[in-house]
Structure 1
Amino acid sequence: MSTKNQILEKGTENITPERQRLLRQNSQAQKQETTVSVEMPTQDEEKGRRSTSSMLKSQKKIYWRSPITMILAFLFGLGSALALHGYYSFLDGKKVGDSFQQQNALRIGTALAFITQISLVGSVHFAYVQCLWRALKSSEISIQAVNAGFDVTSSLLSFTNIEMLSNLRLASFLALIAWCIPIASLITPATLNVNSVMQVGSQMVNVSTLQIAQAAQYFNFAYTVPNQGQVSQNVQAYSGPRIILTRLAVATAGTGQILSLPAPFINATYQQNFYGPFVQCQTANSTIANQVDLAAERAEMALDPSIREVSNEYFAFVPALVNLSGVPLDAGVQVANLSDVNGAPNASNQLWMKFPRYPPDVTIPNVTDEADPYYLSCDLYNASYQVNFSWVNGIQSISMPKPEVVAVVAYPTNESSITAYEESLAYSAFMWALSSQLVGSMGFYQSTSSNGTENSVLGGIYADENQPTSGNNTTNTIFSEIYSNIGQTSLLGSSDFNSYFIKNHALQGHTGGVFSPQRLQDMAYARNRTLDVLIPELSSNITLSLIIDPLLAPPTMTNVTTTTPENIYSYHPFDVLLAYALAISFALLANILGLFAYFSNDASYDNSFSSIAFTTHGIHISGLSAHEKLGELPLDPKVARRKLLWYMRDNAEAGGYGFHLV
Structure 2
Amino acid sequence: MAPSTPFPAKHQDSYRGSKRSPSHILTSEIDPRLHQGPLSEKRFSIQAPLIVCLLVAAAFGFAIGHHFWYRSLDSTVVQSSDEQSWSIRLGTACAVLTKASLVGLIGIAAVQQIWLMLRMKAMTLGGIDGMFAIMHEPTAIFNRELLAHGKVLILFAAVSWVIPLLTIVTPATLSIRSVMSSSTNLAPVRTVNFTNSEEWATAEGAGMIRGPGTAISRLFTEVYASRRIIPQDPPSPNATYELDFWGPSYKCEDINDFIKTRNKPTWNISDSYPGSPYKTFRDAFFGELPDASKKSSKPSGILYQAAAPSYMNNVLLLHAGWDSGSSIVCQLYNTSYTLSISFINGDRSIIPLAIRYLEPAAWDHSAGRFSGLSGPDTVLPTFYVTHLLFSSLMVNIIRIGVSCSLSFDGEAKTIPLLQSSLPFCPEVARGASVCAYFQNPSACRNQSLSRAIEDLSRNFTISTMGYEFWEGSAMTTVPMTITFPQNQYSYQQSTLLITYGGGFAVAFLCLALGAFAVKRNGLISSTAFSTIMLTTRNPDLDDLAAGRWLGSTPLSNDIAKVRLRFGHVRDRDGDVHAGFGLDGTLVPIGGARSAN
TM normalised by structure 1 equals 0.65
Give the alignment partner of residue 480 of structure 2, picking from 547, 557, 560: 560
Give the alignment partner of residue 531 of structure 2, picking from 600, 604, 611: 611
Match of 2:196 in 1: 217
Deviations 1:341-400 (A, max 9, x none): xxxxxxx3111111116xxxxxxxxxxxxx556210011222221111111111111111
1:127–1:590 CA contact under 8 A, matched in 2 = yes
Give the alignment partner of residue 439 of structure 1, picking from 367, 380, 395: 395
Give the alignment partner of residue 253 of structure 1, picking from 224, 227, 230: 224
CA shift, 1:583, in A, is 0.6
CA shift, 1:160, in A, is 5.4
**How do 1:184-223 and structure 2 match up within 5 A?**
184-212=166-194, 217=196, 221=200
Match of 1:396 in 2: 348
- 2: CA distance, partners of 1:611 / 1:150: 13
Distance 1:226 1:203, change over 3 A: farther
Distance 1:401 1:492, change over 3 A: farther
Distance 1:492 1:62, change over 3 A: farther
CA shift, 1:494, in A, is 1.7
Distance 1:188 1:349, change over 3 A: same
Give the alignment partner of residue 156 of structure 2, picking from 151, 171, 174: 174
Distance 1:201 1:71, change over 3 A: same
Deviations 1:428-474 (A, max 9, x none): 332332332222111136xxxxxxxxx7x46xxxxxxxxxxxxxxxx
Match of 1:480 in 2: 407
CA shift, 1:122, in A, is 1.8
2:65–2:94 CA contact under 8 A, matched in 1 = yes
Deviations 1:506-558 (A, max 9, x none): xxxxxxxx45xxx44x5333358121111111111111101012543622222
Match of 1:409 in 2: 361
CA shift, 1:158, in A, is 4.5
- Counterpart of 1:399, as a letter, is I
- 1: CA distance, partners of 2:430 / 2:159: 86
1:223–1:242 CA contact under 8 A, matched in 2 = yes
Match of 1:32 in 2: none
Distance 1:619 1:611, change over 3 A: farther
Match of 1:420 in 2: 377
- 2: CA distance, partners of 1:237 / 1:177: 96
2:445–2:455 CA contact under 8 A, matched in 1 = no
Unaligned runs of 5+ in 1: 1-9, 14-36, 228-235, 300-308, 323-347, 358-370, 446-454, 459-477, 506-513, 624-643, 649-654, 656-662
Give the alignment partner of residue 294 of structure 1, picking from 287, 294, 304: 287
Structure with the greater relative contact order (CA < 8 A, sep ≥ 6): 1 or 2? 2
- 2: CA distance, partners of 1:355 / 1:593: 97
Give the alignment partner of residue 459 of structure 2, picking from 517, 533, 541: 541
- 1: CA distance, partners of 2:395 / 2:169: 73
Match of 2:59 in 1: 77
CA shift, 1:281, in A, is 0.6
Match of 1:282 in 2: 253
Secondary structure of residue in 2 paired with 1:378: strand
Q: Does 1:265 align with 2:236?
A: yes
Match of 2:268 in 1: none
**How do 1:338-417 and structure 2 match up within 5 A?**
348-356=313-321, 374-401=326-353, 403-411=355-363, 413=367
Q: Does 1:569 align with 2:496?
A: no
- 1: CA distance, partners of 2:352 / 2:449: 20
Distance 1:604 1:425, change over 3 A: same
CA shift, 1:288, in A, is 4.6
Give the alignment partner of residue 448 of structure 2, picking from 519, 527, 530: 530
- 2: CA distance, partners of 1:76 / 1:434: 82
CA shift, 1:599, in A, is 4.7
2:254–2:325 CA contact under 8 A, matched in 1 = no
Match of 1:183 in 2: 165
Distance 1:551 1:604, change over 3 A: same
- Counterpart of 1:375, as a letter, is S
Secondary structure of residue in 1 paired with 2:170: helix
CA shift, 1:129, in A, is 1.0
2:180–2:486 CA contact under 8 A, matched in 1 = yes
Structure number with larger C-alpha Rg: 1
Distance 1:259 1:102, change over 3 A: same
Deviates more, 1:172-181 or 1:276-285: 172-181
CA shift, 1:602, in A, is 3.7
CA shift, 1:575, in A, is 0.9
Match of 2:98 in 1: 116
Q: Does 1:589 align with 2:509?
A: yes
Secondary structure of residue in 1 paired with 2:230: coil
Secondary structure of residue in 2 paired with 1:123: helix
Distance 1:226 1:74, change over 3 A: farther
Deviations 1:550-576 (A, max 9, x none): 543622222211112233332211111
- Counterpart of 2:311, as a letter, is L
Match of 1:230 in 2: none
Secondary structure of residue in 1 paired with 2:377: helix
- 2: CA distance, partners of 1:281 / 1:527: 14
- 1: CA distance, partners of 2:550 / 2:203: 119
1:200–1:563 CA contact under 8 A, matched in 2 = yes
Q: Does 1:152 align with 2:134?
A: yes
Secondary structure of residue in 2 paired with 1:421: coil
- 2: CA distance, partners of 1:248 / 1:83: 64
- 1: CA distance, partners of 2:327 / 2:539: 122
**How do 1:298-337 and structure 2 match up within 5 A?**
311-321=301-311
Secondary structure of residue in 2 paired with 1:568: strand
**How do 1:25-174 and structure 2 match up within 5 A?**
46=33, 53-54=38-39, 56-57=40-41, 60-96=42-78, 99-159=81-141, 164=146, 167-174=149-156
- Counterpart of 1:174, as a letter, is F
**How do 1:603-642 and structure 2 match up within 5 A?**
603-616=523-536, 618=538
2:223–2:460 CA contact under 8 A, matched in 1 = yes
Deviates more, 1:282-291 or 1:123-132: 282-291
1:438–1:486 CA contact under 8 A, matched in 2 = yes
Secondary structure of residue in 2 paired with 1:194: strand
Give the alignment partner of residue 430 of structure 1, picking from 386, 398, 406: 386
- 2: CA distance, partners of 1:155 / 1:491: 86
2:198–2:469 CA contact under 8 A, matched in 1 = no
1:258–1:541 CA contact under 8 A, matched in 2 = yes
Unaligned runs of 5+ in 2: 5-25, 260-279, 293-298, 553-571, 573-596
Secondary structure of residue in 2 paired with 1:319: coil
Match of 1:580 in 2: 500
Deviations 1:406-429 (A, max 9, x none): 2222226499x955314x443333
1:387–1:398 CA contact under 8 A, matched in 2 = yes
Secondary structure of residue in 2 paired with 1:204: strand
Identical pairs, percent = 24
- 1: CA distance, partners of 2:551 / 2:81: 61
Distance 1:604 1:42, change over 3 A: closer
2:339–2:354 CA contact under 8 A, matched in 1 = no
1:71–1:591 CA contact under 8 A, matched in 2 = no
Say how many residue pairs are matched: 489
- Counterpart of 2:377, as a letter, is A
Secondary structure of residue in 2 paired with 1:388: strand
2:303–2:432 CA contact under 8 A, matched in 1 = no
Match of 1:20 in 2: none
1:219–1:426 CA contact under 8 A, matched in 2 = no
